[in-house]
Structure 1
Amino acid sequence: MPPDADIAASQVIDAARLDDLRALLGDALDDILRTWLDDAPAGLAAARRAGQNGDPDALMNAIHSVKGCAGNVGALELSDGAGTLERRLKRADPALDLDAELTRLDTCYDRAACHIRTLIRS
C-alpha cells in the first residue's frame, strides 16, 4: 500500500528524527525499523485484548509502550495518538470510544508503516 496522499508525510513521520538516527546508527537503523514494523502490531493487539478483557493496567501499559516505541522510530502520528489516548484513559474520559480509538491507532500504524518501508535501504 503506498503512503496515503491525503496525509502529509510530515504529519505521519518525524523525518528529522529518522535523519538523526540514520546519522547515529547508519544501516543498523534499517534493522530497527524492520523490528518495529514487526512488533508494533502486537502492541496494538495487546491494547485491544486488554480493553476487551477489561484490564485497565494492561491497557495502559500497552498504550504507553506503543507511544514510546512509535516515538523512538519517528512515527509521530501514532505516538501522538497513543499519547492522547493514554491521557484520556488516565482521566477516565466518559466519552471515550476505546474501540474507535484503537482502530484509529491501527490506521496511524498503517500510514507510518507505509512511509517507513520506503525509508528502509537494505
Structure 2
Amino acid sequence: MPPDSDIAANPVIDAVRIDDLRALLGDALDDILRTWLEDAPAGLAAARRAGQAGEPDALIKAIHGVKGSAGNVGAIELSEVSGVLERRLKRADPALDLDAELTRLDTCYTRAACHIRTLIRS
C-alpha cells in the first residue's frame, strides 16, 4: 500500500463537479450527498465480504459500484483508487494485497465523507 502522502497529494473531492452539481440540483444535492454518506459504506462492506469469501466477480462488481457512486458525488480520490483496484482485480494481479487495498478504500471514504459533510448546506 502506498504511503498516505501519495494519497494526500491527490485531491479528495472534485470541487468543479460539486459546483456543477450544486448549479444543476440546488439544495437537492444535499439529499444526494447524505444518501451517499449512508450508502457508500455498504458498498465497501460488500467488497470486503466478497474478498473474504473468495468471490472475484462479486468483488469486482462491488468495487465498480464504489467507483461509480464516488465519481457521481465528486469523491475523486475514492473513485480513482477504486478504479485502479478494479483494473488490478480484472487482470488478477498476483502482487495485489487485497486487505491493504480495501483498507485504503476505507481511508479514502473516510476522507471523502469528512469533506462531503462540510458541503451539505441544509
Structure 1-normalised TM-score? Answer: 0.92
Q: CA deviation at 1:7?
A: 3.4
Flag as ranges the 4+ runs of structure 1 deviating above 2 A.
none
* Aligned-pair Cα RMSD in Å: 1.3
| Structure-1 residue corresponding to 2:8 | 7
Q: For each residue in 1:49-94, what CA deviation from the matched residue of structure 2 results, as whole angstroms up to 9, or x when unmatched?
A: 0000011111010000000000000000000000000000011000
Show the 5 A alignment for 1:8-47. Answer: 11-47=11-47
- Partners of 1:7 and 1:95 lie apart in 2 by 23
Q: Which runs of 5 or more residues in structure 2 are unaligned?
A: 1-6
Aligned match of 1:3: none
Q: Secondary structure at the match of 2:8?
A: coil
Match of 1:85 in 2: 85
**Aligned residue in 1 for 2:64:** 64
Q: Distance in 2 between matches of 1:102 and 1:7?
A: 17
The aligned length equals 116
Matched, 1:109 2:105: no
How far apart are the structure 1 equivalents of 2:76 and 2:65?
A: 14
